[in-house]
């Protein structure tokens, strides 16, 4: 089908035979839930749909549904995701499988509906698995894979499938949807670690004292550790049954003989391929590592690909204020004690700002030429008179 | 249904962590007797999160999902939707009762949006608010349900505002069933729970839950204070179905003239949270305000009751 990514995601949800969808509209996610409700109305999708009154309630309803023992899905973005924050912790902490699409959008203020990754990165430590897609086909395939990963007995954690606002969510591209029979072979019927069971009435999520709490948190961490192999297995099984592969925890591009590498997530990583190809034509041995799974973080994979290089540039579409790009920190941590490769950070593309591949090339060239002094750059910053006036106003305050 | 006819099976088990005289645990006990084992329970952050006992123990004999504070209506919606899906698929033979159990903080304040959303959508579950008129679990801070002039730990000279009335807000949502209940009238509560279970859609029942440590009365007086609340007219017992409100039990008897309104001062004096209204042997102005308000309410209720009787009489004769 040729369609916008939001519709493609909805059709993937249908193929996953989801039982309960609960969602609240927010730009740029809206067409996901519009398409699902239309599929239900048309009798093409057999599913309960709860048009909740907020994202906080969307996630609460999803937890309630999954606790009864059915497959549950939601979709959101930015402020909606932030509004769910408390219940993201709850869903992961009480160990329920479920899948949610998050269309990556900037956080306000000022109001900005365009793409960056600040929304999802801000939810990094909730216990959710976070996958990032770089194209329409990958979105269709990853949504289906996400249910299998989430429900795997080694994992039993919620999975967030991230893709970029507008660049992907609203753009029309070709994507092939697998047949229902193939999906049924890939994705077993819903499984979970527990459910509200009338024959075995247990109490879930109750008060837990210091004597028992750390063990619960460790079990979540161990589930994330195991999720690494489960994500890789799901990608392999998908290739075997359905015939497509987008990488496991990471996707490497022209890394075989690379001396320098870009590290990125989402649609910027697709654009980075163009930069890599162009740099190669200039004679610079560049490659790209695209992070598909941000949590669990592919530390070993990154270390294995980057440790012998001469330079690495991490592109962050987010900023951990008071520190640096989040992907940059994590990449350095993965290399710590294993490699002396210099690692640099470009923070760019915030709030939907265009990032031409030439910017990535220039940043990479500066790394390769050894001219770069600063660890972190903001290469697409351009101040105009309005920005200067605002700064002046702030400096006068008080 | 008489008290002695209640099912003997206890689903509120021994060894809970409730305070002595806890109204929440008494209400749960009756609710479980009314609904039975075929019940899925959602407990919203409240005293019940604690009184059920900490991991790995539980005093609750049905499957329980503990949930965050603001989520009662939405979690009920999700559980109900999944149950409906499983019934449709034949995976569940009989539809279990879905019971959401929340306090007044979780209902009047932080959870009212989720409750209102579920009520507007008509999601199929019973929502019980056990209203102890404060955030008792965190040390008795004021809530939207705290009554006028009551001491709480952050209204130390008495709350300056009258409470809101979520049961009436639920009536305004045009729910198929809204009722209030009292621990002093357990058969009334039991019958209301049973009726709620027989109706599809969102059902709201609010139980006044006098809290001994929060309201400052002896722990053996929970039922006595509950009864005084009805007898003085502070708490009205009713059920609202098919667009019509019927008053029940003690409240009905007062409206129909079979019982006198007890002066509100008896209710207020029974609780330490109103002690500041009776300093130095004098009654604070606010006691009079209470009585006037109650008298006004009952004047209207009696008038409406007589008017209805007359009209029905005319209809029969006409």
Could you tell me the residue ranges of all domains in chain A?
A: 2-241, 251-377
CA distance to A368, B25, B105, per residue, from B183 (Å): 77, 11, 19
Q: At what angle do helices A299-306 and A326-335 cross, to 10 degrees?
A: 70
What is the rounded average pLDDT for all residues in chain A? Answer: 97
CATH architecture of the domain with residue range A2-241 = 3-Layer(aba) Sandwich (3.40)
Contact: A64, B121; criterion CB under 8 Å: no
**Which residues numbered 20-59 in B keep a CB inside 8 Å of some CB on A?**
37-38, 40, 42, 49-50, 52-56, 58
pLDDT tens digits along B35-94: 999 999 999 999 999 999 999 999 999 999 999 999 999 999 999 999 999 999 999 999
Q: Structural domain tally of chain B?
A: 1
Contacts of A69 in chain B (CB under 8 A): 82, 86
Residue B318 has pLDDT above 80, yes or no: no
Distance in angstroms (rounded) separating the CA atoms of residues A269 and A295: 17
What letter does residue B163 receive in the DSSP assignment? Answer: P
Residues of chain B neighbouring A198 (CB-CB closer than 8 A): 37-38, 40, 62-63, 96
Of B70, B78, B116, the CB nearest to A65: B78
Rounded Cα–Cα distance for residues B94 and A69 (Å): 16
The stretches in chain A having pLDDT less than 50 are: none
Asked if the A251-377 domain carries CATH number 3.40.50.920, the reply is yes
ipTM of the shown complex: 0.97
**Residue B214: what are its φ and ψ, rounded to 5°?**
-75, -40
pLDDT tens track for B243-293: 999 999 999 999 999 999 999 999 999 999 999 999 988 999 999 999 999
What CATH number is attached to the domain comprising B263? 3.40.50.970
Query: What is the distance in angstroms between the Cα of A250 and the nearest Cα belonging to chain B?
Result: 35
A65, B82 Cβ separation under 8 angstroms = yes
Task: Give the mutation candidate from A206, A211, A213 for the B interface (greatest B CB count, under 10 A).
Answer: A206
Condensed to tens digits (0 to 9), the pLDDT of residues B190-221 reads: 999 999 999 999 999 999 999 999 999 999 99
Flag if A196 and B65 touch (Cβ within 8 Å).
Answer: yes
Nearest Cα of chain B lies from the Cα of A72 at a distance, in angstroms, of 9
Tell me if chain A has a CB within 8 Å of the CB of B117.
Answer: yes
Determine which of B40, B63, B173 to mutate to test the interface with A (most A C-beta atoms within 10 Å): B63
Report the pLDDT value the prediction gives residue A398, as an integer from 0 to 100: 67
Residues of the domain holding B76: 3-317
Interface test with A, best of B47, B53, B77 (most A CBs within 10 A): B77
Q: Do domains A2-241 and A251-377 have the same CATH topology?
A: yes
First-last CA distance in chain A = 58
Q: Is the dihedral of CA A97, A102, A106, A111 positive or negative?
A: negative
Tell if the CB–CB gap between A208 and B54 is shorter than 8 Å: yes
Nearest-Cα distance to chain B for A73, in Å, is: 11
Q: Please check whether residue A144 is in contact with residue A183, taking contact to mean a CB–CB distance below 8 angstroms.
A: yes
- Taking only the tens place, the pLDDT of each residue in A10-47 is 999 999 999 999 999 999 999 999 999 999 999 999 99
A46/A145 Cα distance (integer angstroms): 20
Residue with tokens 């903001």: A378
């Amino acid at each position: 089908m040729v369609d916008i990514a939001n519709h493609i995601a909805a059709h993937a949800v249908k193929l996953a035979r989801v039982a309960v969808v609960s969602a609240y509209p927010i730009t740029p996610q809206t067409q996901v839930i519009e398409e699902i409700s239309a599929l239900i109305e048309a009798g093409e999708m057999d599913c309960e749909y709860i048009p909740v009154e907020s994202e906080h309630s969307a996630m609460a309803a999803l937890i309630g549904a999954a606790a009864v023992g059915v497959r549950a899905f939601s979709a959101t973005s930015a402020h909606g995701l932030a509004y769910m924050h408390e219940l993201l912790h709850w869903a992961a902490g009480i160990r329920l499988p479920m899948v949610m699409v998050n269309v990556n959008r900037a956080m306000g203020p000022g109001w900005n509906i365009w793409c960056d990754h600040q929304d999802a990165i801000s939810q990094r430590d909730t216990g959710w698995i976070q996958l990032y897609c770089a194209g329409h086909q990958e979105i269709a395939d990853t949504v289906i894979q996400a249910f299998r990963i989430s429900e795997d007995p080694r994992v039993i954690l919620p999975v967030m499938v991230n893709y970029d606002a507008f660049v992907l969510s609203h753009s029309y591209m070709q994507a092939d949807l697998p047949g229902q029979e193939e999906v049924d072979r890939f994705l077993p019927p819903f499984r979970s670690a527990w459910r509200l069971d009338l024959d075995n009435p247990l109490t879930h999520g109750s008060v837990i004292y210091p004597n028992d709490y750390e063990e619960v948190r460790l079990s979540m961490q161990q589930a994330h550790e195991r999720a690494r192999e489960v994500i890789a297995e799901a990608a392999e099984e998908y290739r075997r049954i359905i015939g497509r592969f987008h990488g496991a925890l990471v996707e490497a591009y022209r890394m075989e003989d690379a001396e320098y590498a870009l590290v990125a997530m989402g649609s910027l990583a697709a654009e980075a391929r163009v930069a890599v190809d162009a740099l190669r034509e200039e004679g610079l041995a560049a490659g790209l590592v695209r992070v598909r799974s941000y949590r669990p973080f592919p530390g070993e994979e990154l270390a294995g690909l980057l440790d012998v290089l001469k330079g690495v540039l991490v592109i962050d579409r987010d900023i951990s204020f008071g520190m640096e790009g989040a992907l940059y920190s994590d990449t350095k941590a993965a290399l710590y004690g294993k490699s002396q490769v210099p690692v640099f950070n470009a923070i760019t593309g915030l709030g939907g700002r265009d990032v031409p591949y030439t910017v990535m090339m220039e940043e990479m060239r500066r790394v390769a030429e050894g001219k770069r002094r600063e660890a972190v750059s903001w290469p697409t910053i351009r101040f105009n008179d309005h920005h200067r006036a605002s700064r002046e106003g702030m400096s006068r305050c008080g | 249904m008489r008290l002695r006819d209640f099912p003997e099976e206890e689903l509120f088990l021994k060894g809970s962590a409730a305070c002595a005289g806890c109204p929440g645990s008494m209400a749960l006990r009756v609710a479980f007797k009314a609904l039975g084992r075929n019940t899925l329970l959602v407990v919203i952050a409240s005293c019940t999160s604690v009184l059920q006992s900490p991991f790995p123990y539980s005093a609750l004999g049905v499957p329980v999902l503990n949930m965050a504070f603001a989520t009662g209506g939405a979690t009920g919606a999700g559980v109900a939707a999944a149950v409906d899906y499983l019934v449709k698929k034949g995976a569940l033979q009989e539809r279990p009762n879905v019971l959401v159990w929340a306090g007044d903080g979780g209902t009047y304040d932080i959870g009212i949006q989720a409750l209102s959303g579920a009520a507007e959508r008509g999601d199929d579950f019973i929502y019980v608010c056990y209203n102890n008129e404060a955030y008792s679990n965190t040390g008795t801070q004021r809530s939207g349900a705290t009554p006028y002039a009551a001491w709480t730990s952050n209204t130390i000279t008495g709350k300056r505002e009258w409470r809101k009335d979520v049961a009436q807000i639920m009536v305004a949502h045009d729910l198929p069933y809204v009722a209030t209940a009292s621990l002093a009238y357990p058969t009334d509560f039991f019958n209301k729970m049973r009726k709620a279970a027989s109706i599809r859609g969102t059902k709201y029942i609010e139980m006044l839950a006098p809290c001994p440590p929060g309201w400052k009365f002896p722990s053996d007086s929970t039922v006595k204070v509950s009864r005084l609340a009805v007898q003085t007219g502070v708490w009205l017992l009713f059920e609202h179905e098919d667009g019509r409100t019927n008053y029940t039990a003690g409240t009905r008897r007062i409206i129909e003239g079979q019982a006198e309104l007890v002066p509100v001062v008896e209710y207020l004096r029974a609780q330490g949270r109103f002690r500041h209204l009776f300093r130095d042997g004098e009654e604070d102005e606010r006691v009079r305000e209470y009585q006037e308000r109650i008298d006004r309410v009952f004047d209207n209720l009696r008038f409406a009751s007589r008017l209805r009787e007359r009209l029905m009489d005319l209809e029969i004769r006409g």
